[in-house]
């Protein structure tokens, strides 16, 4: 009797695609992606890696587990609140709800009462102004760098931007402020020295070619020792005399003073000191989506809004919706993590350490995202073997901890308390790898 080739027992493609769960996955993931998954499982069976009778359950498991995006959610156990590599600020529940609502057709540029076109981002602009009453007007663009490019293009293309040498910083991914500004067609007029820049340095540089005075917060580093800088208040008379705008790029997105971060500049204080325009990010200390805020004097903001480049850098409906919700709802996750009680963190971390029979150690978190460099956020961590860092990252859920001093440190500051049990399960699974 002739033995049946086991490959003839492999379920046909049309049979697998007709399964209810596979049909649902085709709607969710796309037909081509699901067909490719089916072919890959069938090929494993043809190569003898998988018995034919297991093809169908493996296909069903594969399509059920496949996500609609290659981006994987992670639990941030590093203690770094605004973690650029992990997407900076996690959105609040209110912002997520707003983002989902805005995913379909929405009245982003339509007045429903009249049926006529309306201005874009009106509600987000109102939310920004309510959160920073010192500003007369606000413009939301797609990120902080875009806001700076728009401002220097609108006011200094073909002219000079007067800026301190100590503020010509490099931001994330190797982007340097001088290169960014030069790309707008403006010319840099560097003044002062790396560690010391005085008011007279700016005064000597001002002239007919001056387009604006730019004051930049160094963000992710500090210069200490023999230093000096000109303040916004000191530069205000020079801007008035030269009749050019005084622009302050704060970076971090803090709209009002925070006692926890006394040296971190905020928009309200900068405007009160005399800045005409403040530039900030939406996804750092503000705790919202990626966005760039340009806020300040109405005429200055309007000149930016009317510039042709504004169209190229405008924020989309999802960012506008999430930003509005971030500003109008309760404290977002970033604010809660920054101000987390040390006692509460110790209690949560101690429970985790006890369940794992691992040491509880003091651990300073960080603001991250270039905010408040060197400012420690006192907290706690569970000290585990450094070898656990990789299996934790590759587990489900993925847990990103801090590897330091020969250990893997699990810090719960940025982990929602509701996810503590998931962290525990993830560590136990990593220990079993």
Looking at the fold, whether 359 and 324 belong to one and the same domain comes out as no
Q: Give the pLDDT confidence score for residue 2 in this predicted structure.
A: 61
Whole-angstrom distance, CA of residue 97 vs CA of residue 76: 21
Tokens matching residue 383: 């000290």
Q: Give the pLDDT confidence score for residue 370 in this predicted structure.
A: 81
Q: What angle do CA 423, 425, 426 make, to 5 degrees?
A: 60
CATH number of the domain where residue 108 is located: 3.40.640.10
Q: Is residue 69 part of a domain?
A: no
Q: Give the pLDDT confidence score for residue 172 in this predicted structure.
A: 67
Looking at the fold, whether 374 and 262 belong to one and the same domain comes out as no
Q: Give the pLDDT confidence score for residue 369 in this predicted structure.
A: 86
For 14-33, letters b (16+ CB in 10 Å) and e give eebbebeebeebbeebeeee
Q: How many structural domains comprise the chain?
A: 3
Looking at the fold, whether 236 and 267 belong to one and the same domain comes out as yes
Task: Domain of residue 97: give its range.
Answer: 92-329
CB count in 10 Å sphere of residue 46: 13
Looking at the fold, whether 122 and 243 belong to one and the same domain comes out as yes
Q: Is residue 1 part of a domain?
A: no
Looking at the fold, whether 361 and 263 belong to one and the same domain comes out as no
Looking at the fold, whether 126 and 148 belong to one and the same domain comes out as yes
Q: Is residue 22 part of a domain?
A: yes
DSSP of 38-61: HHHHHHHHHTTSS-GGGHHHHHHH
What lies within 8 Å, CB to CB, of 374 at 6+ separation is 222
Q: Is residue 45 part of a domain?
A: yes
Looking at the fold, whether 202 and 174 belong to one and the same domain comes out as yes
- Does residue 150 contact residue 310 with C-beta atoms inside 8 Å? yes
Mean pLDDT by 10 residues, the chain (433 residues): 76 93 92 94 93 93 89 96 95 97 95 94 96 98 95 96 91 80 93 94 96 89 84 97 96 90 93 98 96 98 97 97 97 96 96 97 92 88 97 96 96 97 97 83
Q: Is residue 307 part of a domain?
A: yes
Q: Give the pLDDT confidence score for residue 219 in this predicted structure.
A: 74
Looking at the fold, whether 352 and 315 belong to one and the same domain comes out as no
Q: Give the pLDDT confidence score for residue 173 in this predicted structure.
A: 67
- Does residue 289 contact residue 88 with C-beta atoms inside 8 Å? no
CB count in 10 Å sphere of residue 419: 15
Q: Give the pLDDT confidence score for residue 143 in this predicted structure.
A: 94
What lies within 8 Å, CB to CB, of 224 at 6+ separation is none
- Does residue 309 contact residue 376 with C-beta atoms inside 8 Å? no
Looking at the fold, whether 175 and 191 belong to one and the same domain comes out as yes
Q: Which of 271, 299, 329 is the last residue of a domain?
A: 329
Q: Is residue 115 part of a domain?
A: yes
Q: Give the pLDDT confidence score for residue 207 in this predicted structure.
A: 96
Q: Give the pLDDT confidence score for residue 339 in this predicted structure.
A: 96
């Amino acid at each position: 009797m002739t033995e049946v080739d086991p490959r003839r027992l492999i379920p046909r493609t049309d049979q697998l695609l007709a399964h209810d769960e596979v049909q649902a996955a085709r709607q969710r993931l796309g037909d081509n992606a699901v067909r490719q998954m089916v072919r890959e499982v069938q090929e494993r069976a043809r190569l003898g890696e998988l018995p034919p009778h297991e093809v169908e359950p493996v296909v069903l498991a594969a399509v059920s587990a496949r996500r609609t995006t290659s981006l994987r959610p992670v639990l941030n156990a590093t203690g770094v609140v605004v973690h650029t590599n992990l997407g900076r600020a996690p959105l609040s529940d209110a912002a997520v709800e707003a983002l989902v609502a805005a995913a379909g057709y929405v009245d982003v540029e339509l007045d429903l009462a009249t049926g006529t076109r309306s201005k874009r981002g009106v509600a987000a602009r109102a939310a920004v102004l309510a959160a920073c009453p010192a500003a007369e007007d606000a413009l939301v663009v797609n990120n902080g760098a875009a806001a700076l490019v728009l401002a220097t293009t609108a006011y200094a293309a073909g002219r000079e931007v007067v800026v301190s040498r100590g503020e010509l910083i490099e931001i994330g991914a190797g982007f340097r402020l001088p290169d960014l500004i030069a790309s707008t067609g403006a010319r840099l007029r560097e003044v002062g020295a790396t560690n010391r820049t005085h008011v007279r340095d700016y005064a000597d540089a001002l002239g007919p070619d001056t387009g604006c005075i730019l004051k930049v917060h160094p963000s992710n580093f500090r210069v200490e020792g023999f230093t000096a800088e000109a303040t916004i208040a000191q530069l205000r008379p020079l801007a008035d005399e030269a009749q050019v705008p005084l622009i302050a790029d704060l970076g971090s997105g803090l709209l009002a003073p925070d006692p926890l971060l006394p040296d971190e500049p905020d928009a309200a204080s900068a405007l009160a000191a005399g800045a005409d325009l403040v530039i900030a990010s939406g996804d750092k200390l503000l705790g919202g989506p990626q966005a760039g805020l340009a806020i300040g004097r109405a005429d200055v903001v309007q000149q930016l809004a009317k510039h042709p480049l504004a169209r190229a850098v405008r924020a989309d409906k999802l960012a506008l919706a999430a930003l509005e919700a971030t500003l109008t709802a309760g404290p977002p996750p970033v604010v809660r993590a920054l101000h987390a009680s040390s006692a509460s963190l110790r209690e949560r971390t101690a429970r985790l350490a006890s369940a794992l029979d691992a040491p509880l150690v003091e651990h300073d978190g960080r603001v991250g995202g270039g905010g408040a460099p060197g400012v420690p956020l006192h907290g706690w961590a569970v000290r585990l073997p450094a070898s656990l860092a990789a299996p934790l990252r590759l587990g489900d859920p993925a847990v990103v901890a801090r590897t330091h001093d020969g250990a893997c440190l699990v810090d719960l500051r940025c982990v929602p308390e509701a996810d503590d049990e998931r962290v525990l399960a993830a560590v136990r699974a990593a220990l079993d790898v």
